[in-house]
């Protein structure tokens, strides 16, 4: 079996080292003896979503998001069909915002794909710092770093997790990210997946099960160092 990862517009959406998420996914597949291919797509490339198992959409500046948004409108139907068919998507910060209905700036509006039932409004102050969240589907907390001026609000979807430390989507409702079908949207950088091997494996498992059409058991890896790093962050910021 081979897993194909589609990295959308890395020349524009690749701030804060989020390419490390692609590396983490690839390595954890390879360490299990699973073939993996990473395809990078530029603005002028055609995307065949039927050939992809995981789609990654990262963060760019407001200007870069404008450029990407124009392109995303062209592939909106195909992207939404991929999600409908349980395609796996990881969208971080700007990519997360672009999957919603809109991102409202001070004097303009960036139209999103409406893949997710969310909307974002920009504020003057930024939400910056470490974040710890608890999910209802993982046995360990998820940690990361946020740096965003947007305030995202969820309508009908579930959050990725509940904020234990940090700000999350908007610093008000204690929600961080969104999980919908096999789509994960989040503000967490760092990059996210090397700090959270349990979340990375959840994503891998969803992609493998979709590809194989049945349940999949992942070979265990030695995550001693990764778990220690995760626990250090949790213990540092969530002391009781």
Mean pLDDT of 70-95: 93
Band the pLDDT of 131: cuts 50, 70, 90: very high
Rounded Cα–Cα distance for residues 115 and 132 (Å): 26
Residue 240 in this model has a pLDDT that exceeds 70: no
Rounded Cα–Cα distance for residues 192 and 21 (Å): 7
Band the pLDDT of 67: cuts 50, 70, 90: confident
Long-range CB pairs of 72-76, under 8 A, 24+ apart, other chains included:
72/98, 72/112, 72/113, 73/111, 73/113, 75/47, 76/113
For the stretch 158-198, pLDDT in tens is: 999 999 999 999 999 999 999 999 999 999 988 999 999 99
CATH number at residue 177: 3.40.50.880
Residue 61 in this model has a pLDDT that exceeds 60: yes
Residue 18 in this model has a pLDDT that exceeds 90: no
Please report how the helices 76-84 and 62-74 are oriented relative to each other, as an axis angle in degrees rounded to 10: 80
Q: Which residues constitute the domain of residue 123?
A: 2-237
CA distances from 235 to 129, 131, 176 (A): 15, 12, 19
Residue 157 in this model has a pLDDT that exceeds 70: yes
Rounded Cα–Cα distance for residues 78 and 123 (Å): 32
218: tokens are: 């992942």
In the three-class reduction of DSSP (H, G, I as helix; E, B as strand; rest coil), residue 39 is classed as strand
For the stretch 197-236, pLDDT in tens is: 999 999 999 999 999 999 999 999 999 999 999 999 999 9
* Residues with active-site annotation: 93, 189
Residue 137 in this model has a pLDDT that exceeds 90: yes
pLDDT at 71 (0 to 100): 82
Rounded Cα–Cα distance for residues 87 and 210 (Å): 8
pLDDT at 135 (0 to 100): 98
Buried (b) or exposed (e) across 35-48, using 16+ Cβ within 10 A? Answer: ebebeebeeeeebe
Question: Could you count the other beta carbons within 10 Å of the beta carbon of residue 102?
Answer: 17
Total domains present in the chain: 1
In the three-class reduction of DSSP (H, G, I as helix; E, B as strand; rest coil), residue 31 is classed as coil
pLDDT at 62 (0 to 100): 66
């Amino acid at each position: 079996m081979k897993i194909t990862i589609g990295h959308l517009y890395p020349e524009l959406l690749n701030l804060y080292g989020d390419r490390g998420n692609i590396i983490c996914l690839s390595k954890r597949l390879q360490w299990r003896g699973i073939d993996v291919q990473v395809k990078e797509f530029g603005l002028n490339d055609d995307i065949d979503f039927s050939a992809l198992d995981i789609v990654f959409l990262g963060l760019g500046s407001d200007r870069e998001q404008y450029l990407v948004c124009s392109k995303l409108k062209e592939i909106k139907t195909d992207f939404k069909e991929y999600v409908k068919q349980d395609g796996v998507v990881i969208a971080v910060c700007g990519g997360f915002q672009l999957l919603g209905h809109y991102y409202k700036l001070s004097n303009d509006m960036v139209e999103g794909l409406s893949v997710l039932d969310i909307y974002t409004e920009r504020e003057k102050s930024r939400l910056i710092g470490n974040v710890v969240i608890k999910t209802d589907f993982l046995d360990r907390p998820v940690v990361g770093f946020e740096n965003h001026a947007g305030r995202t609000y969820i309508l009908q979807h579930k959050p990725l997790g509940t904020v234990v430390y940090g700000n999350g989507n908007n610093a008000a409702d204690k929600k961080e990210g969104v999980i919908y079908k096999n789509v994960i949207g989040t503000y967490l950088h760092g990059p996210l997946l090397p700090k959270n091997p349990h979340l990375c494996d959840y994503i891998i498992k969803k992609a493998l099960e979709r590809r194989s059409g049945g349940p999949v058991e992942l070979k265990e890896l030695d995550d001693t160092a990764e778990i220690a790093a995760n626990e250090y962050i949790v213990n540092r910021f969530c002391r009781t």
